Amino acid sequence: MYYIITGAAGFIGSNLVKALNERGENNIIAVDNLKNADKFRNLVDCEIADYLDKQDFIEKLRDGFFDGLVTAVLHQGACSDTMETDGRYMMENNYQYTLELLNYCQNEEVPFLYASSASVYGGSSVFKESREFEAPLNVYAYSKFLFDQIVRRRWQKRSAQVVGLRYFNVYGSREQHKGRMASVAYHFFNQYHAEGRVKLFEGCDGYANGGQLRDFVSIEDVVKVNMFFLDNQNKSGIFNLGTGQAQSFNDVAVATINTLRIAESKPVLNLVEMQQQGLISYIPFPESLRGKYQSYTQADIGALRNSGYSGEFLTVEQGAARYVEQMLKAAT
């Protein structure tokens, strides 16, 4: 029997492969698209049974190759570029492909965990898993939103576990291949190393410089929640996966810089001190993002808690520090 992980060479997918390995699970089919070849590095320290290109995999699935052989499908593969403007590509890749996997899992009575996104809420100020609060601002968000709607329509007829996880701002190890789509913690780390300072957006939507608020969630916590649902296959639903506590981009910058300063045997500083010393600076907010940008997100994790998940989430100060320490170790 095999676990199938799509997007297995990507950020979240590779962390899930590693987590299953740590549980002694090596019968894993890793599915991905290695057009970005550097992603292979995420799987070098992982054990898998086989790798399949995403198109080869879906054809084998259609041919019945995996019938009766699948323990669970963890579907993390998607185009995650929120600036992608090719709507046809986005819908084929994120919606139609996911729908085919759902149909297969329901026919085979196989647990199906899939990546949704907090982007479905758009400019909403309420982040609760309910239709009235969902208003996607771009086609990426719409592709995720529409699939969630299909899951809801079929809810009463499901034959196996279905779990949609609406990831908020995930950061952590194995994201280096994402380029500009990598987390701000990753970019701040590299900016500080290269220039001795970090750059944040100026304020927008009534927020001060660097004061926009996001629910930043560590990949460590994302993995724990996925494992929880794998262990509790009687639990289904669409769940927010964030910490439940919004923090500012300034908070991420301060945590990142202070961890690096500690490594350099320098004293920690507060935000004002960093601004005064030029360690944090601000650049104009991009016009291309106006009207498409979430200046505030904070997951309502009531449904997740009600499902039985009781784990504590890392704060930005805790999670960013651990992440920076990991990157420092990798750089030596």
Q: Which residues have a catalytic role annotated?
A: 140, 178
The answer to whether the CB of 13 falls within 8 A of the CB of 32 is yes
**β-strand pairing of 213-214 with 28-32:** unpaired
Smallest CA-to-CA distance from 141 within 314, 325, 293 is with 293
Is residue 15 within 8 A of residue 173, CB to CB? The reply is yes
**Based on the number of CB atoms within 10 Å of its own CB, is 77 exposed (0-12), middle (13-18) or buried (19 or more)?**
buried
The two structure tokens encoding residue 143: 């592709």
List CB contacts of 210: < 8 A, sequence separation 6 or more: 200, 201, 202, 203, 248, 249, 250, 253, 280, 282
Q: Distance between CA atoms of 254 and 270, rounded to whole angstroms?
A: 7
Residue 200 structure tokens: 């944040």
DSSP letters of 204-216? -TTPPTT--EE-E
In 3D, which of 166, 165, 222, 216 has the Cα closest to residue 188? 216
Burial 295-325 (b: 16+ CB within 10 A, else e): bbbbbbbebbeebebeeebbbbeebbbebbe
